Amino acid sequence: MFKGFKQFILRGNVLDLAVAVVIGAAFGDVVKAVVADLLTPLIAAIGGKPDFSAIQFKVNGSAFLLGDCVNKVISFLMVAAAVYVFVVAPVNALQARRHRGEAPPDPTTKKCPECLTEIPIAAKRCSACTQPV
């Protein structure tokens, strides 16, 4: 039983996932710090007030914390923007640079002229509308 567990743990995808979770948690802290320490004060400098949690209204004694919701939405948008600018865009640029000069792969499908369904290149009849191609 221990041998099987050892094989499971030492399998590549389990280790990769464990490393990804640890690095992801650490990266999440970095992104939160960038948002809290750099972007939120920038919004405060431009807009005058970085915290909207005091905004609320009451209906029949129930408090609606509109400001807290606004804070969470702004925080989410800033985190998403930071991840896009600092992770997604550079990785996309690296991928494009890496694949520069390569010929695109040969297509494996074509569109049926009758119903525009994707069909294999070698097909003689469309599987959706049964028209000869």
Query: In this predicted model, what pLDDT tens digit does every residue of 28-53 receive, in sequence order?
Result: 788 778 777 777 777 777 767 666 67
Tokens of 104: 């695109």
Are 87 and 74 members of one domain?
yes
Q: Is the pLDDT of residue 113 over 80?
A: yes
The CA distance from 37 to 43, in Å, is: 11
pTM, entire model? 0.49
Are 13 and 46 members of one domain?
yes
Are 118 and 65 members of one domain?
no
The CA distance from 9 to 3, in Å, is: 10
- Average pLDDT in the 86-106 region? 85
Are 87 and 128 members of one domain?
no
Are 75 and 98 members of one domain?
yes
Are 123 and 96 members of one domain?
no
Are 111 and 53 members of one domain?
no
Alpha carbon separation from 44 to 51, 87, 121 (Å, rounded): 8, 25, 58
In which band, very low, low, confident or very high, does the pLDDT at 12 lie, cut at 50, 70 and 90? low
Domain that holds residue 127: 107-133
Are 89 and 118 members of one domain?
no
Are 116 and 131 members of one domain?
yes
Are 56 and 92 members of one domain?
yes
For the chain, the average pLDDT equals: 81
Q: Give the count of domains, the chain.
A: 2
Are 37 and 97 members of one domain?
yes
Are 41 and 55 members of one domain?
yes
The CA distance from 41 to 53, in Å, is: 16
